Structure 1
């Protein structure tokens, strides 16, 4: 009888733990919906998004519980999306590019936007930088000019070197207020005679290739006040990145994200 009672108590404790976990998840889910209203119109869509969120939440908890990880994961607008597969064109415009730019150190300039929401592929974004002029304020250069003018259908992807070469051959880059961002490809309306030039390219051959996997060469370029364009293969964890030094070797080779390296430092004894 005593053994039966002991087993029954264990079963009851296990059921209580499951109920507590379910309550915890439901509170997290409701808090997420309050922060990120999804506008779901059907019960089916609600259940699908909740199921995806449950998987994302479990993945975040598993990662953050590991010892020795250099970065933490958290919820954001991507938590209810199946990355690399079910992003609609509207979701791409809303969510891609939602990451905040890296805060620059005193050596280099900051980046205006880290991604272009109209593209999930290789978009020529390198010239879209904040230029700090001698007066001490930042000028946001026009991303839309790059999308519309540097190549055909700029939102479908592109190469950074194409954008640099375009700017070198076309008087430079206007400011964002003169040619505002729309997150979709349009007809090129850039006119150097009618728009102010926010940034000029001083060289007719502005692209310099940096040795692959050579951190010293990269740091030398950055210390010189320049920016390095890279492509980063995106593991699933990238879309839940929250803080720390991102480091994940589970790359997805067919999904690369163009971005800019603007500096280097050490955080919690981790070089980045």
Structure 2
């Protein structure tokens, strides 16, 4: 790689993460493009042929050209990848520190498929077909099936709620919008890595908010504590869990350790909870009436950040970039991912929930997504919602 390209990559890694696919391709389109004249044929980056390479006494020039064109066509048909994406692929690997080894070809093909999916969707969004845009992120080298299996670890079971949230306000009196981030209730975006621990991040997020409400101190709490220590309550670490189970553990354990004292490792481990490192406690937890977006709105307006389960199984969620996410294929029953509602609002006629995810800042709107609100409980956002009582 020459110095010019290294400089381009170093200068544009952050820009790459925040721009859409078509813009990224344009960003580096001038680098390494051979300047062909009328007597040149570019086969690939290793084969560059010019008419002067051959002596006219062997074959007529026209026959040479025909033979070379045929060779180009044969090689092009054999190439598995889109060569115009070479620079972007290399930049993707640098930006997200990817090193595939023997998996390179497979990951490249998956990535190209996702690039095409993103471009097609965004062209449709330009025509008004969709209300949100897709974009490349660090998960763009995973198939949707693989992604859902690895990242989405919510395990939902039938439950009978005996401690339900009871709305106390007239829905007409609720504010038009709420954002608990602006009031100091929400910690920075976290990243669960390739571990199905979403349920733990949803749990800590809600308790962090309630602890702040009670003490005026925002403390980041330990997801790893929940992963390692709440198996008795039914959770399975990276293999999945449920926020209700995690809240039950915190209640029975009389607290959860701080993130600083019990850092996240993105893998299962032995429990080493220390009572001296407790960062927050709770006395009980409450569930929102199943399927009621109205009750969820009131809880989100009056209580604080709320833990929720959703259907995040679609490619459109995996590659979401911005806008109000409206996925008609979403199920309100088959939930597979735990997230955190931190507010709500509207954009014109489009109502949405402000949702904090745990897939890092390269995903979505700096780690957040606006999910459709008042669309018949789309993606099941009000199907399994709960919060702790401090």
- Which TM-score band (shorter chain)? 0.7 to 0.9
Q: For 1:65, what is the secondary structure of its paired residue?
A: helix
Q: 2:195 aligns with which of 119, 128, 131?
A: 119
Q: Work out whether residues 224 and 265 of structure 2, in 8 Å CA contact, stay in contact via their aligned partners in 1.
A: yes
Larger Rg: 2
User: Within the alignment, does 1:26 sit opposite 2:86 as a pair?
Assistant: yes
CA distance in 2, matches of 1:50, 1:268: 39
1:60 alignment partner in structure 2? 118
Q: For 2:92, what is the secondary structure of its paired residue?
A: helix
1:81 alignment partner in structure 2? 142
Q: For 1:262, what is the secondary structure of its paired residue?
A: strand
Aligned residues: 237
Q: For 1:219, what is the secondary structure of its paired residue?
A: helix
Q: Work out whether residues 180 and 304 of structure 2, in 8 Å CA contact, stay in contact via their aligned partners in 1.
A: no
TM-score, structure 1 normalization: 0.73
2:101 alignment partner in structure 1? 41
Cα RMSD between the aligned structures? Answer: 3.4
Q: Work out whether residues 107 and 223 of structure 1, in 8 Å CA contact, stay in contact via their aligned partners in 2.
A: no
Q: For 1:140, what is the secondary structure of its paired residue?
A: coil
Q: Work out whether residues 196 and 237 of structure 2, in 8 Å CA contact, stay in contact via their aligned partners in 1.
A: no
CA distance in 1, matches of 2:87, 2:200: 41
CA distance in 2, matches of 1:224, 1:173: 24
Moved more, 116-125 or 218-227: 116-125
Q: Work out whether residues 71 and 247 of structure 1, in 8 Å CA contact, stay in contact via their aligned partners in 2.
A: yes
- Give CA deviations for 1:174-212 in whole Å, capped at 9, x if unaligned: 2111111111121211121x32x21111x3x31323331
- Give CA deviations for 1:206-244 in whole Å, capped at 9, x if unaligned: 1323331x2221110011133332222221111111111
Q: For 2:254, what is the secondary structure of its paired residue?
A: coil
Relative to structure 1, the CA distance from residue 34 to residue 186 in structure 2 (aligned partners, 3 Å threshold; closer, same or farther) is: closer
How far residue 63 of structure 1 moved from its aligned partner, in angstroms, is 0.5
5+ residue gaps, structure 1, are 1-14, 98-102
Relative to structure 1, the CA distance from residue 77 to residue 255 in structure 2 (aligned partners, 3 Å threshold; closer, same or farther) is: farther
CA distance in 2, matches of 1:168, 1:226: 19
Relative to structure 1, the CA distance from residue 96 to residue 34 in structure 2 (aligned partners, 3 Å threshold; closer, same or farther) is: farther
Q: Work out whether residues 114 and 140 of structure 2, in 8 Å CA contact, stay in contact via their aligned partners in 1.
A: yes
Q: Work out whether residues 112 and 128 of structure 1, in 8 Å CA contact, stay in contact via their aligned partners in 2.
A: no
1:4 alignment partner in structure 2? none
